[in-house]
Structure 1
Amino acid sequence: MNGFKEFLFRGNFVELAVAVVIGAAFSGLVTAFVSSFIGPLIALMGGQPDFSELTFHIDGTRFPYGGFLTALISFLIVAAVIYFLVALPIIKLLERFARAEQATERPCPHCLTNIPINASRCRSCTMEVAPISPTPEF
């Protein structure tokens, strides 16, 4: 029983459970956004956004391909909304944070001990080191 309790309260398991719950809630939010705003915009431009009535028949067998077509279009729209409204802004934000983090140390060229960027002498081997000019930010 202790092994099961350790499994349940292990950090990764709890984090995964929280991620699944948050993901489900976020999925509902994105689906509602797409059905409330994106679907009507598509209907304005190209007619009805629901193609579930589209079918074809071969030898009396009905193939309802419209449901698949509607699901495919819905998936592509949801993926685009998530990418452009969530993933892309987070990627840009993380890039900005990464640029803001500048190195404060560098390796000594003689003994490879980390020394401050602006140091002119290594504290370990006492050799003189050339200063590094700061790189301009764009």
Structure 2
Amino acid sequence: MLKGFKDFLLRGNVLDLAVAVVVGTAFTAIVTAFTEYIIEPLIAALGGENEMGWGFQIIADNPSTFINIGAVISAAINFIIIAAVVYFVLIMPANAAKKRFITEESDEKASAEDLLIQIRDILESQASQPGQGGAHAKPAPEQS
């Protein structure tokens, strides 16, 4: 059981995953700062005179009942930016690589199938010719 865990740790996947988490966290901080300091003020400007931003208050004089629509829109923009970067930087290149390697493998598989078909046809033609015995040749009937 511990040998399997050791193999898993030494395979490199854990290191790759750790690097991905660190880079993802750093990138998320950058995008969050972008939305917090650039996008949110622009969205708050849409709120007009309201000092709390774009939204509305359910109960007057109670700031904890403020529904902040700008924060939700900012989080959605944050998500879209991160999803776009992940798609264009990770997913598209990975799909392109998969297509390239799968196409090569299917071509090799098709050529191997063609070769086997040719071998079968040659063996069948040899078996059908008289005097060209082989493993699949039928023994001649005995004459009495």
Who is 1:19 aligned against?
20
8 Å contact kept, 1:52–1:69 = yes
Unaligned runs of 5+ in 2: 123-144
Cα distance in structure 1, aligned partners of 2:16 and 2:98: 25
Pick aligned residue for 2:108 from 101, 105, 110: 105
Larger radius of gyration: 2
Would the alpha carbon gap of residues 13 and 74 (structure 1) be closer, same or farther in structure 2, given more than 3 Å must change?
A: same
Who is 2:40 aligned against?
39
User: Residue by residue, what CA displacement relative to the aligned partner does 1:92-115 show, whole Å, maximum 9, x if unpaired?
Assistant: 333333333313422xxxxxxxxx
Cα distance in structure 2, aligned partners of 1:41 and 1:122: 67
8 Å contact kept, 1:50–1:70 = no
Secondary structure of 1:127 counterpart: helix
* CA positional deviation for 1:32: 2.0
* CA positional deviation for 1:61: 6.2
Who is 1:51 aligned against?
53
TM-score, structure 2 normalization: 0.49
8 Å contact kept, 1:52–1:65 = no
Higher strand share: 1
TM-score, structure 1 normalization: 0.51
Matched length: 110
Higher helix share: 2
8 Å contact kept, 1:52–1:64 = no
Cα distance in structure 1, aligned partners of 2:119 and 2:52: 75
Matches within 5 A, 1:17-96: 17-42=18-43, 46-47=46-47, 51=53, 54-57=56-59, 63-66=64-67, 68-84=68-84, 86-90=85-89, 91-96=91-96
* CA positional deviation for 1:122: 2.0
